[in-house]
Amino acid sequence: MTKYALEINQLNKTYKNGVTALKNINLNVEDGDIFAFLGPNGAGKSTVIGIITTLVNITSGSVQVYGKDIAKYPEFTKHMIGVVPQEYNLDQFIPIIETMINIGGYFGLSKKQALKKTQELFEDLGIWHKRKSTPRELSGGMKRRLMIARALIHNPKLLILDEPTAGVDTELRLTMWDFFKKINHDGVTIILTTHYLEEAERLCKNLAIIHHGEVVKSSPMSDVISSTRKHTYIIRADSNITDKNIFKDNIHIVDDKTCELTVDNKISITEIINHFNDNNIKVIDILSKRNKLEELFIELTQTK
Ligand code: ADP
């Protein structure tokens, strides 16, 4: 089997209204990866997901899932992929266990097989006790977990998560991260879109950033973490900093004793503190304003 779960070659998409959403996209996701697919609103992420899941037509180029062209092998693609969309699209009036059995049936699972898999997934996701409820009776977080279970009923090899933790509280988010790591460990490749860059940084091995329909970055996460050029700190001092001419243009005064400082990431925290000291200012507190991935994301998507 190919080493890639997903291969996108020279993919272009122009919608009927003339909007060009994707311009010659090339992207590979390795089997076994947790891959962050990032970009600001309107960048083209949903279009790519729509194409992979065969809801959106390709203008030109090709997409392969586990080595097979999605246009030529739609059934294979459907079986290999599970998708958790952003919006709830659950049958509101059917007990959720029934929904799972029905969807299992659609993928050729017997009732017994579907029940077994559902129990396993619902227990892992903490919603087994709600199996007889309808989606209307579930909280937002439970519905989200149900959508994840539903996407996994047929044992897909590739799971696409479109903003899985949007609007989810911190505790549930951490539980969901553990679940994603577990299924990834068990052999499911994951593609994740998220606006929480910390989430991407923590979970993902590789990433791509898309901007105005073009891939502007594609690399291992570890490279990003070690390579961003600028870093922004929030610094609190013991005395007035507004009248001091330190760090010149790189400093943004928040209030008399607080500033934001953007420096080359080769400059260490000690150097910064020393520089303040040299100007007779004692640094009380210094913390990173953003993580490295956020720095890169802003650099690539807000400067053009
Ligand atoms: P993202 O998911 O990154 O926010 P999208 O893929 O939704 O980005 O959108 C990319 C571009 O394509 C945007 O300019 C958007 O307005 C446009 N677009 C998305 N869907 C359609 C559609 N069905 N018809 C026309 N234009 C669309």
CATH number at residue 256: 3.30.70.1560
pLDDT, tens digit, 9 for 90 and up, residues 122-152: 999 999 999 999 999 999 999 999 999 999 9
Whether 147 lines ligand 1, by a CB cut-off of 6 Å, is no
pLDDT, tens digit, 9 for 90 and up, residues 228-270: 677 888 999 998 887 666 777 688 888 888 989 888 878 888 9
CA separation for the pair 102, 100 (Å, rounded): 5
Share of the chain above pLDDT 70, in %: 97
DSSP state of 12: E
Residues 239 and 119 in one domain: no
Residue 88 CA to ligand 1 center (angstroms) comes to 19
Residues 117 and 261 in one domain: no
CA separation for the pair 36, 14 (Å, rounded): 24
- For residue 38, the model assigns a pLDDT of 96
Whether 166 lines ligand 1, by a CB cut-off of 6 Å, is no
Nearest CA owner, ligand 1 atom 21: 15
Residue 243 CA to ligand 1 center (angstroms) comes to 47
Whether 41 lines ligand 1, by a CB cut-off of 6 Å, is yes
Nearest CA owner, ligand 1 atom 10: 44
Other C-beta atoms closer than 10 Å to the C-beta of 237 total: 19
Burial class (CB in 10 A: 0-12, 13-18, 19+), 136: exposed
pLDDT, tens digit, 9 for 90 and up, residues 155-170: 999 999 999 988 888 8
Q: Provide the domain limits for residue 246.
A: 228-301
Q: What is the mean pLDDT of residues 189-204?
A: 92
Residues 21 and 132 in one domain: yes
Q: Which two tokens stand for residue 188?
A: 């499911």
Structural contact between residues 267 and 235, judged by C-beta atoms closer than 8 angstroms: no
CA separation for the pair 223, 207 (Å, rounded): 10
Strand ordering across the sheet containing 4-14: 20-30, 4-14, 60-65, 68-69
Mean pLDDT of the chain: 91
CATH number at residue 204: 3.40.50.300
pLDDT of 1 higher than 70: no
pTM attached to this predicted model? 0.83
Domain count, the chain: 2
Nearest CA owner, ligand 1 atom 15: 42
Other C-beta atoms closer than 10 Å to the C-beta of 244 total: 16
Q: Which two tokens stand for residue 139?
A: 């909280």
Residues 164 and 220 in one domain: yes
Structural contact between residues 121 and 147, judged by C-beta atoms closer than 8 angstroms: no
Burial class (CB in 10 A: 0-12, 13-18, 19+), 215: buried
DSSP string, 67-100: TEETTT-HHHHHHHEEEE-SS----TTS-HHHHH
Whether 49 lines ligand 1, by a CB cut-off of 6 Å, is no
Residues 176 and 294 in one domain: no
Q: Which of 134, 203, 205, 136 lies closest to 173, judged by CA?
A: 203
- For residue 268, the model assigns a pLDDT of 86
Whether 44 lines ligand 1, by a CB cut-off of 6 Å, is yes
